[in-house]
Amino acid sequence: MFDLIPFGRHREDAFGQLAKTFNDVFNDDFFAPFKNSPLSFRTDIRETDQAYLVEAELPGFRKEDIEIDYAAPYLTIKAVRNEDHNMEDTNHQIVRKERRHGEYVRRFYVQDIAEEDIRASLKDGVLKLEVPKRQPTRSKRIQIQDGD
């Protein structure tokens, strides 16, 4: 009888089923906040002669949810999300309830910038910052006077 069902094949099927079950659990939406870096967001930074240009992906955030702060030498972008989603059936019994609360923060080390001239805009979930560089002061040559 054992000749009819190959033992190795039966073991592979059991392992495949276990792997599929394991993957299904971790592909569930319950683990979505943990799949990517939960406390961060993607940014692109470019440098020109006059400024640093920062683009940060913040989809779903309103400008009221975003704070930008410069405390030398760190530029901090912080976005706070507080969402509640309810789905109720006809008897007003909650079928599913999801809450997303989180604080997303990025800090950048930046020196010699004109912090009073930083400009920010938010459009289509992309925060754009223009961080002007402080223009170097020109040195002044001092002549030594003939003295007594």
> Amino acid identity of 118?
I
Please tell me the distance from the alpha carbon of residue 148 to that of residue 49, in angstroms, as a whole number. Answer: 47
Asked if the model's pLDDT at residue 62 lies above 60, the reply is yes
Q: Collect contacts of 13-21 with beta carbons under 8 A, ≥24 apart.
A: none
Please tell me the distance from the alpha carbon of residue 142 to that of residue 8, in angstroms, as a whole number. Answer: 90
pLDDT in tens, 22-44: 555 555 444 444 444 446 799 99
pLDDT at position 105, please? 93
